[in-house]
């Protein structure tokens, strides 16, 4: 029987040693725990009291070092920051998996190589501007407003929870991932960096536009860095520097224009705005299937009732944009 004030909680923990096991498996452990107990503490109890072979990574136990990220009941989180009680109440158990999008080394420990490799490719350091060299031997000063422009990004602890949650990384491991792009934003807006334009041009092909704006990275981030918002900012800056040259940027601008004109999407027009006729050729079989199901897609939709209100919203949004 559980001690007063505690819950008897079943944990289903992912176990896999690629050097020995053919398949991963889940092992159930049951503990009596106070509801506020962090998942990490529960795992450490399992390791010290039940199964010394359980392998996991952690250090600070205070949501600072970023090393205890894992998937708890299907969500990427810091184990030291996730209390067991609400998880148990919501799901009836606590299922623990290693982070997604990274190969498992053993149990809950993953190989972070691609995460750091993608970050390194973005040159995450100040690049000097030969025309405006940084003062030698003196601190280079920034105004509070300049610092404020990237105030969220330094909070990042590189825990990779965003990388684990990101469907774009899953679809294309070359996608830099939310953390790398949020940090790239930090260098693009830093007035001491002399390579903002080159950074934006370099990241444009593919990289930036693979982001689907699902916001799962922002939901997973334990430090409220809001990577999806920083990626949106980068997309706007990339269009300002180079115009709409990628399928992603053409699609984004076409979508915006479509909604502005009619309050709803004209899908056939959006395809024409995104692809040249030659580029659209391979999409024809898919388009034919879609049109068989929804023939109305061929018709240009009429403006919705109250479309003037949509225009007013766009005007308001344009006014809000920083100059």
Give the binding site for ligand FES (CB under 6 A). Answer: 58-61, 63-68, 78, 80
- Nearest approach, Cβ of residue 82 and ligand FES (Å): 10
Closest by CA to 184, choosing from 216, 218, 210, 207, is 207
- Nearest approach, Cβ of residue 66 and ligand FES (Å): 5
Nearest CB to ligand FES, comparing residues 81 and 242: 81
Q: How far apart are CA 285 and CA 292, in angstroms?
A: 11
Nearest CB to ligand FES, comparing residues 68 and 211: 68
Nearest CB to ligand FES, comparing residues 2 and 60: 60
- Nearest approach, Cβ of residue 35 and ligand FES (Å): 19
Could you tell me if 103 and 64 are in contact, meaning their C-beta atoms sit under 8 angstroms apart? no
What beta strand segments (E) does the chain contain? 7-15, 25-33, 69-72, 75-78, 94-97, 104-106, 109-110
Could you tell me if 274 and 254 are in contact, meaning their C-beta atoms sit under 8 angstroms apart? yes
- Nearest approach, Cβ of residue 58 and ligand FES (Å): 4
Per-state percent for the chain, helix, strand, coil, to nearest 5? 45, 10, 40
The residue whose two tokens read 């930090």 is 186
- Nearest approach, Cβ of residue 95 and ligand FES (Å): 19
**Cβ contacts of residue 165 below 8 Å, gap of 6+?**
75, 76, 100, 216, 217, 219, 220
The residue whose two tokens read 């004109």 is 261
Nearest CB to ligand FES, comparing residues 79 and 166: 79
Provide the angle, in degrees to the nearest 10, between the axes of the packed helices 178-188 and 196-203. 150
Nearest CB to ligand FES, comparing residues 46 and 200: 46
DSSP letters, 258-310, are HHHHHSS--HHHHHHHHS-HHHHGGGHHHHHHHHHH-GGGGSPPPPPTTHHHH
Nearest CB to ligand FES, comparing residues 37 and 258: 37
Cα–Cα distances in Å, from 75 out to 22, 35, 134, 172, 268? 26, 19, 43, 20, 36
- Nearest approach, Cβ of residue 61 and ligand FES (Å): 5
Nearest CB to ligand FES, comparing residues 60 and 304: 60
- Nearest approach, Cβ of residue 179 and ligand FES (Å): 14
């Amino acid at each position: 029987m559980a001690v007063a004030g505690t819950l008897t909680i079943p944990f289903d923990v992912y176990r896999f040693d690629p050097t020995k096991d053919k398949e991963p498996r889940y092992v159930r452990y049951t503990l009596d725990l106070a509801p506020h107990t962090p998942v990490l503490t529960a795992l450490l109890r399992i390791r010290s009291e039940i199964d010394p072979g359980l392998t996991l990574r952690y250090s600070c136990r205070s949501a600072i070092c970023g090393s205890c990220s894992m998937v708890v009941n299907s969500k990427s989180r810091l184990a030291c920051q996730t209390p067991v009680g609400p998880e148990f109440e919501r799901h009836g158990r606590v299922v623990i998996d290693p982070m997604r999008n990274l190969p498992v080394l053993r149990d809950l420990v993953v190989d972070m190589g691609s995460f750091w490799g993608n970050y390194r490719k973005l040159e995450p350091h100040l690049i000097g501007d030969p025309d405006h060299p940084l003062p030698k031997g003196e601190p280079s000063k920034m105004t509070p407003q300049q610092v404020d422009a990237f105030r969220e990004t330094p909070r990042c602890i590189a825990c990779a929870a965003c990388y684990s949650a990101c469907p774009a990384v899953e679809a294309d491991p070359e996608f830099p991932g939310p953390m790398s792009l949020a940090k790239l934003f930090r260098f693009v807006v830093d007035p001491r960096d002399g390579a903002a334009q080159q950074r934006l041009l370099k990241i444009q092909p593919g990289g930036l536009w693979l982001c689907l704006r699902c916001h799962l990275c922002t939901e997973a981030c334990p430090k409220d860095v809001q990577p999806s918002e920083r990626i949106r900012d980068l997309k706007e800056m990339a269009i300002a520097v180079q115009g709409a040259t990628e399928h992603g940027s053409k699609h984004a601008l076409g979508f915006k224009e479509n909604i502005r004109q009619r309050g709803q999407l004209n899908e056939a027009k959006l395809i024409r705005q995104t692809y040249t006729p030659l580029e659209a050729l391979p999409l024809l079989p898919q388009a034919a299937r879609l049109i068989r199901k929804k023939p109305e897609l061929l018709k240009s939709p009429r403006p919705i009732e109250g479309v003037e209100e949509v225009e007013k919203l766009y005007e308001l949004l344009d006014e809000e944009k920083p100059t």
